Amino acid sequence: MIEAVIFDFDGTLADTLPVCFLAFEGVFKKIDNREVTTEEIIAMFGPSETGIIRKNLKNNKYEEAIELYYEIYKDQHSNIVQHNEEIKILLEHLKTNGYKLGIVTGKARRSLDISLDCLGLKTFFDVIITGDDVELPKPDPEGIYKALEKLNVSHKEAVFLGDSEADIIAGKEANLLTIGVHWLPNIQTAEFKNQPDKIYSSVKDFLRFLSSL
């Protein structure tokens, strides 16, 4: 029986990828004086934003770059990221029906807190594991293992939802039921090489599936 639903964040619970791209573009333009494409940024994903900057910035002004990233992210969040009522209803429904809820994301805690505050989603989750909380980012399952331990559920009692190849690999490595989601406008992986157990482009279809388990 499924007792816990664990989510990725960017591209899964919130359409935050465009503001992430904008912030990274601003950082690399100002600090490195170079243009980066969306595809190049996606290829950097895995570590937290601070990890991405430290790994990919050619100029060593890391702290300045990190602060600039968060400045752009926070300033532009409300302009770019829309409230999604369907996602909020999903979380309310799951909470009301007794599911434990978690987030496992590569985002740093600082940017996740900005997004959760802006979107009014902070109160829903029983556990949050960010890129700051793990040694190995997805596709390594470390974050999922930590979430399961904190939620006090087994891998058989949880489902993991994500929009990227790394999400699905991590979920499978942790032996969870994996759900690929394509219900937000901007996602990381359009076609999964590692097939999730299910793929949903509709929140309602996922809820119907969950209620059938």
Phi, psi of 160 (to 5 degrees): -120, 130
Distances (CA, A) of 110 to 74, 114, 117, 207: 10, 6, 11, 30
CA 170 centroid distance within chain: 13
Q: Is 15 a catalytic residue?
A: no
For strand 127-129 and strand 158-162, is the pairing parallel, antiparallel, or unpaired?
A: unpaired
Task: Return the closest-CA partner of residue 167 out of 99, 81, 86, 107.
Answer: 107
Q: Are 121 and 138 in contact (CB under 8 A)?
A: no
Total number of residues shown for the chain: 213
Question: Residue 24 is encoded by which pair of tokens?
Answer: 């990274």
Question: Which amino acid is present at 47?
Answer: P
Cα separation, 131 vs 87, whole angstroms = 22
What Rg do the C-alpha atoms of the chain give, in angstroms?
17
Q: Catalytic residue numbers?
A: 8
